[in-house]
């Protein structure tokens, strides 16, 4: 059964409903589909040409140029495709092939494209020629670079004819700025060599992410020539179209003939989740009555210049003054087709291969390509066979070679070569091979054979299917029951099991058994197991499934919820046993969510709402256990549920940082009580607003978000469409620049314990021009073995950095520092700039900490004087063990006190890097905290919170290596903790409180907290030495949150606690508020215990929760 997965389904549904009510007239009705969906996934820089009734399309594929052809532009992804160009292995024009454009000139076809040799600065314009009447046939011949162009960086070349002359227009980079140049052509291969600049970035919107004018496209109408171009860098969601206009009687080589639009003519539309629309081309409707804009765009603001960009089409309207009106980019549907029963290549394991997603014709919109190396392969490790025997393996493949092959291996048996006839790139065909499969799980690997081929999916079918029904479900149920231990059950209840198994075995052996007989035997076995009685029921400590739900209405996505956190031990043998047979879970497609209780399964076939499923796996391949090692021993079937209430819509992000994501959405059309926010399938928040901020995320990590609504009765809606969000990466390797210093390029000296790098200005300029990075990296790791190293930059070198807007980045071993622009300030730097970096080995730090880095200090001098700036520098320390977790932090060294002061930072577990901002000229280090408290071990309920506060210096031990977690703490102790948390500047005590003595250790803390509104007391009494109660603590917490700028207030409503009457009137709202925001919770039997004295452990947990909230 075929299913259609629609990203943006709510939009698609709305269109379908409207189309059924309101008539759509004219050409737009006939061509409507082309405007409603993304016509090519993963396709940036699209160029579309309509020629003799067919559309031809090219786009950036980086390592090749394919031409797509279709009479229907909406279906061009599924049309004919041919390979026009495969670059040489290396050399000029072999790498980074961008923005090919197809033109028909003088009865020949030409493809203009840009490429380099792997060095960005070497991008030049190239051209291919084909004499065939059809660009899909004949031979494309490389004509090399476009002749007579300036020998500098050039991309995005395009050509157009006007008054008998062809013109060539392109983008080039001078002084770090991307400009549009134009020249007349002598012939399709040659320009005159008289290029002029017609556009340079001048407006702010052209310079948001670097000054960029690129991607020119030409539209001639109404006595004028309109030239659109893309402005600012494609990494920005503000990438947009500007427009130049010239009269058709003007001299097009005169820059004065062109006028620029003062604002973008086509830009992002966040309300419809359209970002970075640009790099367009123009075409028309098939009948020529409509002008169409073809462009690429993203559906997320953070997608940038990635493969997430897709090609879209929008109709152009015309203003009364004859100028084009491009409107705003509309929402589109991103469609992919998936078929149940297939094992998708993108879900398999693959080595030295790449998942590609530009071809909608591929199953599920993706396939695996670049299987180009001797060790490249795609491995499907969970191919289920209900019985051993011969099966037909079907492989969907595509290639444009004369011939190709795969080396096919099944279960480590000798490889068999499967020959693959040519299909044309992107034209998927199925090849067949008979293979022997074992009963149960099998592994099939497709390795590179002759030449190259891409793979989309595989599936297997029995070679000889017995007459009758499908026996897979019954066979799996029999296998499962044979694993039961008879000794655990009563003889009376077990008596029916052998008889039922014998009947099932007979049916499985009977090739004439029909489906009704097989289903009846399945039901009998299921019922027999349900009636088993324990001799003595064992106490099961293993996990049990409590819920099964279809995800987002997609029947091949299922979430199982367990009663406790689970651990998967090499669990490669999952399948779900249902009424239609085993539903396999591929090895690449299961995931335990963050809370450990939810298991997200991607299925090879569909589950149905209302179907009873049980989770099973082959024991020899793995197990499902609790965190403390108890195995799952009951496989109770759970009925699959699917919600019916409409979901929230238009889920999007409004801000993304390294560790914070801000979400907004629109309410569904009914009375909503609140919303649940899910991250990667796990509920992480609940709010009454249509916005939510998710904090403390991992930098450089991808997350899937969705939102549900619930009404006053607690009925939860369908999930919103999920969005994928990528938090910003820590800048471990995000800048390029000088790289490893070569002595012949820069002067390196070592003397008196100092290695000095004197920068060669000429080489510095070459490195600046060769990279579009925002910084230049000085790589000191491999020069000298001294602890101290110096970089010397001349005034000319500093001027080059300022002129090209480059910052200074320094890397020495695991330490990377990015210096702010103030370090290039000409008012402070008298002559040359000397930057000194010293890394002193740390043998020890302080008790309870271990050094991760050395003691690091950076300083600067000019004219013999030390320089000082206030702005922090960015530091990244890389090469960390990802398991160091939150116990790593940055600290500065206070020379006078000889102590380390907590700074903090962000750990990127995926990159093993730790980033933080530090004040310059102060020694700092990265340290790891180890708890020294003998009375708080890893099993203590407050262990994490106590450790986090100790490493921050907020709480300390009480002596004798003890923390005394159960000791009570005084009001003065807790208010001092609040002051430290908020970083309040201490206020001098002036004797204003009757019970606070001058000189008391807490006097200034009490005065500071009182001034900030955290501590009130009664009259002039503060009661500093009285033990703090839980309700007093709740009040101080809420006041501290307010003082710290956090709005913790909610509608307290009715009291949430059973002992509400024991809460003082003045504290009741604050108690309910502090519970509502999750900082303080109740005790047993829903009691808050307001008059109880709080312990040090409780205080640690509460303050740690405040840190997380703030």
Nearest to 564 by CA among 598, 601, 600: 598
pLDDT 10s digits, 878-900 = 877 655 555 788 888 887 777 78
Kindly state the average pLDDT of the residues 802-829.
Answer: 84
Least confident of 599-603, 640-644, 935-939, 995-999: 640-644
Rounded to whole angstroms, how far apart are CA atoms 192 and 605?
A: 61
Q: Which two tokens stand for residue 937?
A: 């071990």
Residue 190 token pair: 């040659």
Percent of the chain with pLDDT over 70: 81
Per-residue DSSP letters for 606-643? ---TT-EEEEEE-GGG-EEEETTSPBP-----EEEE--
- Residue of 170, 183, 270 lying closest to 230 (CA atoms): 170
pLDDT band at 589 (very low <50, low <70, confident <90, very high): very low
Which has more confidence, 17 or 758? Answer: 758
How far CA 138 is from CA of 110, 130, 141, in Å, comes to 12, 7, 10
pLDDT digits (tens, 9 = 90+) for 698-718: 666 778 888 988 888 777 777
Question: H-helix or E-strand containing 912?
Answer: none
Q: CA 613 to CA 560: how far, in whole Å?
A: 10
Mean pLDDT is lowest, of 248-257, 314-323, 637-646, 820-829, for 637-646
| Beta pairing, strands 754-758 & 788-793 | parallel
- State the number of CA atoms in the 13 A half-sphere of 993 facing the CB: 26
DSSP state of 824: G
The torsion angle over the Cα atoms of residues 741, 743, 744 and 750, rounded to 10 degrees, is 140
Answer left, alpha or beta for residue 876, where phi above 0 means left and psi between -120 and 50 means alpha: beta
**Cα 506 off chain centre by:** 52
User: Mean pLDDT of all residues in the chain?
Assistant: 81
The residue with greater pLDDT, 101 or 731, is 101
Residue 13: count other Cβ atoms within 10 Å of its Cβ: 12
Alpha-carbon distance of 757 to 71, in angstroms, equals 62
> Do the domains at 337-462 and 649-726 have one common CATH topology?
no
Q: What residues pair up with 320 in beta bridges, in sequence order?
A: none
Q: How many CA atoms lie within 13 Å of 50's alpha carbon, on the beta-carbon side? A: 18
CATH-assigned architecture of domain 4-336 = 5 Propeller (2.115)
Structural element, H or E, at residue 530: helix 515-530
Model confidence pLDDT, tens digit, residues 965-991: 888 999 989 988 888 888 888 888 888
CA distance 724 to 1091: 46
State the pLDDT confidence band at 1009, using cuts at 50, 70 and 90.
confident
Does residue 314 contact residue 346 with C-beta atoms inside 8 Å?
no
* 293-302, 470-479, 923-932, range with the lowest pLDDT: 470-479
Calpha distance 342→2 (Å, rounded): 11
User: Which residue carries 């008879």 as its tokens?
Assistant: 486
> Tokens standing for 918?
């530090």
- Nearest to 585, CA basis, from 562, 603, 558, 567: 603
Q: Per-residue b/e over 254-291, b at no fewer than 16 CB within 10 Å?
A: eeebbebbeebbbbbbeebbbbbbbbbbbbebbeeebb
* DSSP per-residue codes, 123-192: -EEEEEEE-SSSTTSS--EEEEEPBT--SS-EEEEEEEEETTEEEEEEEEEETTEEEEEEEEEEETTEE-
The predicted pLDDT at position 1075 comes to 82
What is the chain's Cα-based Rg?
34
Cα–Cα dist 317/622, whole Å: 61
Domain boundaries, the chain: 4-336, 337-462, 472-530, 545-641, 649-726, 747-929, 943-1109
Secondary structure element (H or E) that encloses residue 946, with its range: helix 943-952
Domain at 545-641: CATH architecture: Sandwich (2.60)
Question: Cβ distance 350 to 22 under 8 Å?
Answer: no
Tokens of 1081: 């919770």
Each residue's pLDDT tens digit, 922-973: 888 888 877 668 888 777 778 878 888 888 888 888 776 788 888 899 998 9
* Stretch among 450-464, 529-543, 966-980, 982-996 having the lowest mean pLDDT: 529-543
The residue behind tokens 């012949």 is 744
State mean pLDDT over 154-165: 96
937 phi and psi angles, rounded to 5 deg: -100, -175
What CATH code would you report for 337-462? 2.60.120.260
Q: What pLDDT does residue 538 have?
A: 61
In this predicted structure, the answer to whether residue 355 has a pLDDT above a threshold of 50 is yes
1082: pLDDT strictly greater than 80: no
Which residue carries 């993203």 as its tokens? 298
Whether the Cβ atoms of residue 632 and residue 574 lie closer than 8 Å to each other: no
Q: What is the pLDDT of residue 909?
A: 63
> What pLDDT score was predicted for residue 886?
57
* Cβ neighbours, 10 Å, residue 903: 20
Percent of the chain scored above 90 by pLDDT? 30
The DSSP element (H or E) to which 1039 belongs, if any, is helix 1030-1043
CATH 2.40.160 fits 747-929, yes or no: no
Would you say 723 and 665 are in contact if contact means Cβ atoms under 8 Å apart?
A: no
Compute φ and ψ for 314, nearest 5 degrees. Answer: -140, 140
Nearest to 59 by CA among 294, 268, 273: 294
Pull the structure tokens for residue 225. 């020539």
In words, the CATH class of domain 649-726 is mainly beta
Determine the pLDDT at residue 8: 25
**Which residues are part of the catalytic machinery?**
45, 214
Q: Which residues of 920-936 are buried (b: 16+ CB within 10 A; e: fewer)?
A: beebbbbbbbebebeeb
């Amino acid at each position: 059964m075929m299913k259609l997965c629609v990203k943006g389904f709510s939009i698609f549904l709305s269109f379908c409903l409207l189309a059924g009510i309101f008539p759509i007239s004219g050409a737009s009705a006939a061509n409507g589909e082309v405007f409603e969906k993304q016509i090519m996934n993963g396709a940036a820089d699209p160029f579309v040409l309509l020629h003799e009734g067919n559309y031809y399309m090219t786009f950036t594929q980086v390592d090749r140029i394919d031409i797509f052809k279709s009479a229907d532009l909406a279906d061009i992804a599924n049309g004919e495709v041919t390979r026009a160009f495969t670059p040489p292995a290396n050399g000029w024009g072999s790498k980074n092939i961008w923005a090919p454009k197809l033109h028909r000139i003088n009865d020949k076809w030409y493809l203009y494209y840009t490429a380099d040799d792997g060095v960005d600065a070497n991008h030049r314009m190239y051209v291919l020629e084909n004499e065939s009447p059809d660009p899909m046939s004949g031979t494309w011949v490389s004509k090399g670079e476009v002749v007579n162009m300036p020998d500098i960086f050039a991309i995005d070349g395009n050509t157009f004819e006007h008054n008998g002359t062809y013109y060539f227009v392109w983008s080039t980079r001078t002084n770090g700025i991307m400009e549009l140049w134009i020249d007349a052509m002598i012939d399709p291969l040659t320009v005159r060599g008289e290029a002029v600049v017609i556009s340079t970035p001048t407006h702010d919107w052209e310079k948001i992410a670097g000054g960029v004018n690129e991607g020119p496209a030409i539209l001639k109408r109404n006595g004028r020539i309109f030239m659109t171009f893309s402005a600012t860098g494609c990494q920005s969601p503000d990438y947009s179209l500007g427009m130049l206009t010239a009269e058709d009687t003007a001299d097009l080589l005169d820059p004065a003939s062109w006028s620029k639009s003062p604002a973008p003519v086509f830009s992002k539309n966040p309300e419809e989740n359209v970002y970075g629309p640009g790099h367009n081309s123009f075409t028309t409707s098939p009948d020529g009555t409509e002008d169409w804009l073809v462009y690429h765009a993203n559906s997320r603001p953070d997608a940038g210049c990635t493969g997430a960009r897709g090609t879209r089409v929008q109709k152009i309207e015309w203003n009364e003054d004859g100028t084009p009106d491009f409107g705003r980019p509309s929402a589109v549907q991103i469609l992919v087709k998936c078929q149940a029963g297939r094992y998708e290549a993108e879900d398999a394991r693959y080595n030295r291969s790449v998942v590609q997603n530009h071809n909608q014709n591929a199953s599920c919109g993706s396939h695996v390509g670049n299987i180009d190396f001797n060790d490249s392969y795609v491995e499907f490790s969970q191919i289920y066979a209900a019985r051993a025997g011969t099966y037909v393996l079907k492989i969907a493949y595509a290639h444009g070679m004369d011939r190709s092959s795969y080396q096919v291996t099944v279960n480590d048996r000798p490889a068999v070569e499967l020959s693959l006839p040519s299909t044309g790139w992107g034209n998927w065909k199925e090849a067949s091979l008979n293979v022997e499969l074992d009963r149960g799980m099998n592994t099939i690997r497709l390795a590179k054979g002759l030449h190259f081929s891409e793979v989309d999916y595989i599936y297997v079918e029995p070679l000889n299917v017995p007459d009758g029904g499908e026996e897979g479900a019954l066979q799996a149920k029999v296998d499962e029951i044979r694993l039961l231990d008879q000794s655990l059950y009563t003889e009376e209840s077990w008596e029916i099991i052998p008889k039922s198994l014998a009947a099932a075995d007979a049916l499985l052996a009977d090739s004439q058994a029909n489906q009704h007989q097989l289903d009846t035997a399945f039901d009998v076995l299921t019922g027999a197991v349900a009636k088993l009685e324990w001799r003595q029921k064992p106490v099961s400590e293993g996990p049990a499934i409590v819920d099964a739900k279809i995800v987002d209405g997609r029947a091949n996505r299922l979430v199982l919820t367990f009663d406790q956190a689970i651990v998967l031990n090499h669990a490669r043998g999952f399948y779900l046993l249902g009424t239609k047979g085993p539903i396999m879970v591929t090895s690449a497609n299961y995931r335990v969510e963050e809370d450990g209780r939810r298991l997200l399964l991607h299925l090879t076939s569909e589950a149905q709402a209302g179907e009873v499923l049980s989770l099973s796996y082959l024991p020899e391949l793995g197990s499902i256990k609790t965190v403390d090692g108890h195995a799952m021993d009951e496989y109770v079937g759970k009925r699959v549920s699917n919600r019916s209430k409409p979901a929230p819509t238009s889920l999007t992000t409004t801000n993304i940082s390294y560790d914070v994501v801000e979400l907004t959405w629109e309410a569904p059309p009914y009375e909503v009580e609140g919303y649940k926010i899910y991250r990667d399938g796990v509920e992480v928040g609940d709010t009454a607003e249509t916005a939510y901020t998710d904090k403390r995320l991992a930098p450089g990590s991808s997350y899937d978000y969705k939102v549900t609504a619930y009404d006053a009765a607690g009925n939860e809606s369908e999930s919103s469409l999920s969005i994928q969000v990528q938090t910003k990466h820590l800048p471990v390797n995000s800048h390029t620049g000088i790289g490893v210093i070569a002595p012949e390029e820069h002067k390196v000296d070592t003397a008196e314990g100092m290695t000095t790098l004197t920068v060669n200005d000429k080489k510095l300029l070459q490195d600046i021009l060769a990279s579009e990075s925002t910084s230049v990296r000085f790589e000191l790791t491999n020069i000298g073995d001294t602890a101290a190293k110096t970089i010397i930059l001349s005034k000319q070198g500093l001027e080059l950095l300022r002129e090209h807007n480059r910052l200074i980045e320094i890397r020495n071993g695991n330490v990377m520092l990015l210096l702010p622009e103030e370090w290039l300030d000409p008012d402070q730097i008298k002559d040359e700039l000397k930057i000194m970096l010293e890394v002193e080995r740390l043998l020890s730090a302080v008790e309870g900490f271990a050094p991760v880095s050395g003691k690091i200090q950076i300083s600067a001098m000019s004219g013999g004087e030390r320089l000082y700036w206030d702005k922090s520098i960015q530091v990244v320390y890389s090469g960390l063990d990802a398991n160091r977790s939150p116990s790593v932090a940055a600290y500065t060294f206070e020379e006078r006190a000889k102590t380390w002061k907590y700074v903090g930072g962000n750990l990127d577990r995926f990159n093993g890097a730790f980033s933080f901002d530090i004040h310059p000229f102060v020694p700092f280090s990265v340290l790891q905290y180890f708890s020294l408290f003998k009375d708080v071990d890893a099993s203590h309920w407050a262990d994490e919170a106590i450790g986090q506060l100790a490493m921050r210096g907020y709480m300390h031990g009480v002596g004798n290596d003890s923390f005394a977690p159960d000791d009570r703490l005084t009001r003065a102790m807790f208010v001092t903790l609040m002051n430290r948390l908020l970083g309040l500047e201490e206020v001098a005590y002036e004797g204003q409180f009757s019970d606070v003595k001058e000189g008391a250790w807490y006097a200034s803390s009490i005065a500071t907290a009182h001034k900030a509104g955290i501590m009130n007391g009664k009259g002039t009494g503060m009661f500093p030495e009285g033990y703090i109660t839980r309700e007093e603590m709740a009040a101080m917490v809420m006041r501290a949150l307010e003082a710290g700028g956090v709005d913790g207030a909610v509608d307290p409503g009715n009291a949430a606690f059973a002992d509400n009457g024991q809460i003082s009137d003045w504290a009741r709202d604050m108690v309910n508020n502090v519970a509502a925001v999750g900082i303080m919770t109740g005790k047993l039997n829903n009691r808050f215990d307001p008059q109880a004295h709080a312990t040090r452990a409780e205080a640690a947990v509460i303050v740690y929760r405040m840190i997380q909230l703030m």
